[in-house]
Structure 1
Amino acid sequence: MELAKLSLVLLSIALCAVAQAQSQNVFEEPQQAWTVFHHPIRRVAVVGAGPSGLQAAAKLIEHNFTVRLFEAAEHPGGIWHYSEETPLREAYPDKPIEHAADIPIKIPATRYYCEGDNGLTLDDRWRQHWRPRPMWDNLHANSPKASTELPDVQYDRDAPWVLSQHAIQRHVRSYASHHCLNSNDRCPAAGPPVVSYSTRVEKVEKDTKEHKWILTLRRLERLRESNRILEEWWTETFDAVVLATGPYVSAHVPDIEGIVDWSKAKEGERYSMCHSQSYRHPERYENKTILLVGASISASEIARDIGPFVHRLLASVRDTPNRPGVRQRSLTRFPAITEFIPEIASFEPLQKHGDGIRKGKIHLVNGSVMQGVDEIILATGFQGYSLYPPNTSGLPLLHFLRSNPCRTTWRPQNLYFTGHWIPDSTIAYTNRRPWTLGRYQSYAFAKVWEGSARLPSPEQIEKQEHGSASRSYWLDMWLAEAVFRRFVSWLNDASLEHGGRFVQPPPIENLELFRYYTVVHLNNTVRLEDLDMPSLLSKQSATEDAWNEMVYEDADW
């Protein structure tokens, strides 16, 4: 027995020695089969303090990187940071999100703003900076508690199966505090501060000579005593960057004839048309006739929230040939009072804009005309993904854009399954579901950049991933069994060869809970036996871009 233990110890020492030597060589070996970094990765920026960004920052700190975490809001949470504040009103028509910020010529720079400067109130300037999240008061998660939990912190045992956004927000803040990443934390560790809240990353660019990433940063601070806002600009340099900003960046307004004219209509001081990003409470719609434009997740859940209050509830639904699981789920979750109408063809010009829209005429694609709508909520999604905005000279930016011309630019094949950008793996995206796969992806970032895991070269990745990347992305939204297995195997193989901690897949009971939850949450539109992996894969092949179908709502408005 003692001899066996001694053998295991000697074997462990030998493996660690081999792993250390191989780890050091990751930055030196000129092998074309592997991605080789120009220099060791020491300093890493993480952009976004939602569930994904917090996990990435915590894991990188654990692996002794110098980390800086940037977040535009005052507090952590990302999309789960609820506020009664609403975003600035969306543009009619869509304004390109890649519109360059007014970056000072000389940086560092400091500016002070007073009420009304450049036509903006202080409140509007503040909201423009941090962009309040599209989260309403009574929102609940569409995944069970077991699949909506971050590592190291737990929900109360008595917490309900279906979590409110308030419970999730507290959970995310608990995780941030546990890792000393919250906005009011004063951690005893020596060195520069990790977190910088109320800070937006306005530009990401690569210094091709030094092989470093330069981030242009803007921080706002409200000076209550003098009723001003202080704006500070500076730059910081990093060896690698994690972009964890999420897809809900800018509201998408559909291109419908006459929508710009109708967007100007008001009843009193309230606009008669708004995007779902500004929805907070149902009481304001009491005894009104409301038209929801959209049939996906936000449309159905807002419909359930306002249903008990409204006089009449209408929902405009596009006629699409495919109805993936998420859309079918959403359609079955509309309240019984909902009247479904066809897609809107046009809005007839209004006589004046001060009396609301009740007398206005809405033309539908089937030729019919309707009137009598008091307010319209556009549940038409957000501008989403693109990796090539113009102000980065072809390099990735933090924003995930959504305009249609940009959609064709983004391809799953541009990213390795770990989230590293294939042309330059010193930048990475948290493109996985944070609650379940985020812990594995964060560990992959740390292992690759510390040298205890290797990425194939771009040429090798192209051969490996050809035809399979989009499938792995789509599975993230469902059971993701294949992705779990791939991550666990890849991480543990790397640890065995180069050193590091081994990981385990999630408990099998979590997967079973999610299976049953999906059936219940889909109102029996999906059977339990349909949730096996071969069935899911066969369904995916029927959709050209299943990932976008699952994530973006505008296909269903």
Structure 2
Amino acid sequence: MRSLVLTVLILSSIDPFEDITAPHEASSYTFKWPIHRVAIIGAGAGGLIAYDQFSRLNNFYVRLFERDSMPGGNWHYTANETSPNAPVPNFPTSKADFEPDLPPDGVKLPYEKSFEGVEEQRVLEVKIDQRAPKPIWERLGATGPRSYQEFRALPWPEQTPIDINRTHLQRYVRTFASFLSLNSNDNNPDVSYDTRVERVTKRYNITTSTENGQQTKTEAGWTLLLRQFTQTGNNSYKIRWREEHFDAIVVASGRFNAPNTPDIPGLSQWASLYPHLISHSRQYRRPEEFANQSVLVIGGSVSGTEIAEELDGVAGKVILSVRDSEDSAHTPPRKMHLSRVPRNVSIVPEIKSFHPFTAPGITSGKVELFNGTILHGFDRIILATGYRYSFPFLPQYINTSLRANETIPIQGTDAKSTQRQQPLITDGTHIRSLHLDIFYIEEPTIGFINMNTGIETFLYSEFTSAALSKVWAGQAKLPSSDFMWARHWERVGKGYGRTFMAYGVEKQAAITKYLVGWLNQDAVKYGGYQLNLPSDNRLQISKLWVAARFPNYRGGDGSNGEWQPLSTGDGLFAINDLGFDSDSEGERERDETWSVGRDDW
């Protein structure tokens, strides 16, 4: 097999769950406190599914917190609410999504502060900061067919087209929220909209001995510090802070909240001089804003290629800069997306530096590529360079001193043996210290939904949410901490980085089968409902969709319709011959390639 086939097979073989069997009760994890009150952070598809799964059980009191004014997560599109400037250089990981706004020290909660006589633009800015701009644009199509973005509890109407867009998805997710009585106009006390979680901190119970008066401090759960925004008029708003206490936390806040910008020499100077002409793809809304301009798009994944395609014919000139990373598992999917780029778009190699300005105006600036080519004359620059993981409400579990593949030294398999806490987030390229990519091993009362790439978020979140709800209800057992850490370190031996959280069709299917087998086996022992595996019918639809979506992706040297670089010299940017042995193998590999990179933004 050649490079793509090998890459996909290697990626699908990196399975953190191989050889794992359901743990025996004697070796299971024991929670430090009983779990009844559960907070869900985020009312996108994953958060809504999590609420549905927890509501099936009578064990829990569930609260859902959403920073936006309505459900939908990324799919709540608003045309004119975008962030003002690209984050150049990158914001610190602990604040990459937002900088927590805490109440004044010493005030008694709840605490409220009103703002009167504020300019309308400032009110809008505060609202945007609260809800966060969404990473979608006006004419964005879905990155998969209808069947790949479907709630099993509420299937799409039959008349819905297979190829859906952001409008379909926005309405569909809101319909599902209404189905659960969670929409913003349902007045359900279980959900709080316009409410951002600023901090999650450990809660303790303190008891005093009647014999000697000594106090004992025991862990008892979590306290959420909440910030609620209310617009009270065109020129006024108020902020209200309060606390609520919970036993467990579901983080369903999404993966597209913290824009990533590349550390290219000279880019910071350009951005400081011309901040409104250099934007991140999260700010992009429609091509008409770039009419007749010369646009440099940086990034060859989904957002970069689709924006370049949309700008073609509207902008005066479009140049797409693509980094050639032959060691990346995302390289084949990126080449697949590049096959859709129109011939009028010039594709060039990676940028080496932005030269200092020698004359006024951004069009005078020169951009140097790694192959020595000098480009100039750009009116606008779009950084389609992806996103980082960031959870500002969990600063105690962020350690930015560690680089992508660095770890805190351990002595044996138990992370506690170091007396140092293993973090969740380091450089933002991945989440670490998770069991099954769901449970935080340090504190298994914190769980995560839809944090992997290359998954069917509407479907896969059903099984991860079921795992969280069943384990916290005592209907399924986690293995011991030592066992979970041992499995984690075994997986880490293959490296962290951007592909650490990447799945794809085959890996998602394997892990889903494991989850269903484990949870159903434990349901027999400890009670609870049985889960059903999803139908494979959607896979046949996806094969047809992918073939129609990427008709030019057939391999070869670029002579049969694939994209051609502007001037590479060494041929590194030609799409490699896939070397498929048969049509069925080619179909499988093409579907897997698409699935791995469909949400690599």
Tell me which interval the TM-score lies in, with the shorter structure as reference length: 0.7 to 0.9
Letter of the aligned partner of 1:40 in structure 2?
P
Q: Is the 8 A contact 2:403 2:427 kept in 1?
A: no
What is aligned with 1:66?
61
User: What is the rounded CA distance, in whole Å, between the counterparts of 1:456 and 1:348 in structure 2?
Assistant: 55
Does residue 61 of structure 2 align to residue 56 of structure 1?
A: no
The 1:376–1:528 alpha-carbon spacing in structure 2 relative to 1, beyond 3 Å, is farther
In structure 1, the partner of 2:349 is: 342
Equivalences for 1:267-416 in 2 at 5 Å?
Answer: 271-322=276-327, 324-350=331-357, 355=361, 357-384=362-389, 392-394=395-397, 407=426, 414-416=433-435
Q: 1:311 offset after TM fit, Å?
A: 1.8
- Structure 2 CA distance for partners of 1:83 and 1:512, relative to 1, 3 Å: same
The superposition leaves residues 251-271 of structure 1 with CA deviations (integer Å, 9 ceiling, x where unpaired) of: 1221222222222455xxx92
* Alignment of 1:216 onto 2:225: yes
Q: Post-superposition shift, 1:196?
A: 0.6
CA contact (8 A) 2:293 2:379 kept: yes
How many residues matched?
A: 498
Q: Deviations over 1:85-120 (max 9, x none)?
A: 112423321121414524121232211224669x98
Query: Could you tell me how far 1:385 is from its partner in structure 2?
Result: 5.5
- Of 417, 433, 438, 1:419 maps to 438
Aligned equivalents of 1:510, 1:124: Cα separation in 2: 41
* Structure 2 segments unaligned to the other structure (5+ residues): 1-23, 205-217, 407-424, 555-577
Letter paired with 2:162 = W
Which residue identity is paired with 1:336? Answer: R
Q: Give 1:231-246 correspondences, 5 Å limit.
A: 231-246=239-254
Specify the alignment match of 1:206 in structure 2: 202
TM value normalised by structure 1: 0.81
TM-score normalized by structure 2? 0.76
- For structure 1, which segment, 427-436 or 173-182, has the greater mean C-alpha deviation from structure 2 after superposition? 427-436
**Is residue 2:263 matched to residue 1:250?**
no
User: Could you tell me which residue of structure 2 aligns to residue 149 of structure 1?
Assistant: 150
SS of the counterpart of 1:513? helix
Contact kept, 8 Å, 2:430 with 2:500, in 1: the verdict is no
1:429 aligns with 2:423: no
Counterpart Cα distance in 1 of 2:251 and 2:85: 26
One-letter identity of the residue aligned with 2:256? Y
CA drift of 1:437 comes to: 1.0
Q: Give the Cα–Cα distance (whole angstroms) in 1 for the partners of residues 405 and 228 of structure 2.
A: 31
**SS of residue in 2 equivalent to 1:231:** strand
For 1:274, give the aligned amino acid: S
Task: Find the aligned partners of 1:95 and 1:256 in 2 and give their Cα distance.
Answer: 15
**Which segment drifts farther, 515-524 or 444-453?**
515-524
In 1, the alpha carbon distance for the partners of 2:244 and 2:333 equals 41
Pick from 509, 514, 519 the counterpart of residue 486 of structure 1: 514
Residue 114 of structure 2, aligned match among 112, 115, 119: 112
| Gap change, CA 1:528 and 1:265, over 3 Å in 2 | farther
CA deviation digits over 1:400-439, x for unaligned, max 9?
A: x999995468776622226111222111000354222111
Q: Which residue of structure 1 lines up, in the alignment, with residue 18 of structure 2?
A: none
Distance in structure 1 (CA, Å) of the matches to 2:30 and 2:446 = 14
CA distance, structure 1, for counterparts of residue 405 and residue 302 of structure 2: 20
Corresponding residue of 2:169? 168
SS at match of 1:333: coil
Matches within 5 A, 1:397-546: 407=426, 414-417=433-436, 419-430=438-449, 431=451, 433=455, 434-464=457-487, 467=490, 473-476=501-504, 480-523=508-551, 524-525=553-554, 528-530=584-586
**CA displacement at 1:325 relative to structure 2:** 3.2
Provide structure 1 residue ranges, at least 5 long, that are not aligned to the other structure: 1-29, 188-192, 540-545
Cα pair 2:321 2:350 within 8 Å, conserved: yes
Aligned-residue CA RMSD (Å): 3.3
SS of structure 2 residue aligned to 1:346? strand
Q: Percent identity?
A: 30
Does the Cα contact within 8 Å between 2:430 and 2:501 map onto a contact in 1?
no
CA distance in 1, matches of 2:30, 2:239: 39
Q: CA distance change for structure 1 residues 138 and 79 in 2, over 3 Å: closer, same or farther?
A: same
Q: How far did residue 156 of structure 1 move?
A: 2.3
Q: Secondary structure at the match of 1:459?
A: helix
